[in-house]
Structures are given as structure tokens and as C-alpha cells.
Amino acid sequence: KVFLEIDESSLGPKATFANAQGANGQSTVKMELGSSKTKAIESNDLTLELPGAVERYDDQRSASGTPDGNFTTISDALSPADDDDFISVGAGEYREFDSTVSVSDNNVTIVGENQPTINVSSADPAIDVTGSEVEIQNLEIDAGDDANGIDVGKALTDFTIRDSVVRITDSTDSARGIASDTPLIVENIEFFGADRTNEGVAIKTTNQADDLSLTDSSFEELDVAMQLTAVDNATIANNEY
């Protein structure tokens, strides 16, 4: 039998571990978390997958040089973020629990490594964008029941999402993959609903949202791919439904 002990006082994005045989013949795995990335811990009867580090690079639009902070959740990385920050998300699953991932600063870029998953179990959107010129790349976004995947606020400029997956579970015709009131650039996104009997909508604009670009994306198990209101200058090409 395997027991797992976690030193919660030193939680961080990296880990070291030791496998020791107890006096009663049981195997104990002790994990003390430090500062470097660990993808998985394996024991005779246990494989523990760990998310990689979330790193924040201040005032730059790429992951170059030494990060200015290391975090265990995306929300924590964004809490002290400023305009023009770059957030690098290591591979793995990030359970943000009841907390929406809020992006309130401008010119923030969030890029995943090997398409990490953001899993939010609340009825609020998985990601709430209230900053301008925000870009998301290479993430899988799993929304909670009847919750939007991404909300993009009013009076903002250009929200971009590329090379990602958005999953919604909708039983009340209320969930949207992306609900936006601002110009969108959506490129190479896979949208999934729970099943085709649901009335989930992959993309919905509710007010003036000029300059919509939707390309190279796919829609599965959704009744409606798009609900567009007051959209000018739309480019919609090379999509599958």
C-alpha cells in the first residue's frame, strides 16, 4: 500500500521525493516540494502526475531570461501581474477549484507548454478577461457545469486565442465557449460541448464587436457554432462544424 505525504508549507512547482520502506512493510512516498519542475512521481503502485511550474516574466512579451516569479497556479501568477507580463504555464492539469482565472492587466500573454489544462469547477467562467490586448496560446480550458469557458469584457481592445481547446458542459442553454463584447481573433481552436442535445454556443457576441477573425477552428457536440450581434469586418474561414 502506498501513502503520500505532502509538506504543504513548502508547496511550489518543483519536487523531490524519496521512497522508504516502513517497519510494517508498507511503502511510504514522501514528497517535499521545492522550486524546480517535476512532471511525474512514480512508485511501485503509484504514478502521481504533477503540473509544471507557472512562471511570470515581468514587462516582456516572451519567456526569455530568468523568470520574475514561480507559482503553482495560474491565478497566483496573475494576482501580482502587471501590464506587458508573460505567463509561461508548464504541462499538466491546473485545478483552479472555485476560482476564476482573472486577467485584468493589459498586454498580458499566457502560453502553455504541451497544452496544459485549466479546470474550474465553479459556475463562473474559467477565464475572465477584463484587460486589453490579452493573448492566450496553447491551453485546454475546461469550464464547470453551465459556465462559460472565457468571458471577455466590454470596452476592451483585441482578445486573441490561438492553438487551444475550449470545453463547455451546458444543460441549460447558458454556457458559451467564448462570450465577448470586444474584437476577437480566434485561430486554430477546438470547441467541444457535452453532447449535441445541449444548446451550447461556441462563440457569442452581445454588443458591438468589430473585426472578428475566426479561422482554422472546429466545433463538436454543439448546436450553435456562433451567435453574432452587431459585428463588422468579420473574417470567417477554414472552419469545421
CB 146 within 8 A of CB 174: yes
How do residues 82-141 score in pLDDT, each as one tens digit?
Answer: 888 999 998 888 887 667 899 999 999 999 998 999 888 777 889 999 988 999 999 999
Task: Between 192 and 169, name the one with better pLDDT.
Answer: 192
Q: Which helix (H) or strand (E) holds 57?
A: strand 54-57
Dist CA 41 CA 181 (whole Å):
43
pLDDT digits (tens, 9 = 90+) for 183-223: 789 999 999 887 654 545 677 776 655 678 899 999 888 87
pLDDT score, position 88: 93
Measured between alpha carbons, how far is 150 from 178 in angstroms, rounded to an integer? Answer: 5
Q: pTM, whole model, 2 decimals?
A: 0.76
Report d(CA 208, CA 214) in Å as an integer. 16
| Paired residues of 184 in beta bridges | 159
Strands 69-71 and 54-57: antiparallel
The grid coordinates listed for 138 are: 496553447
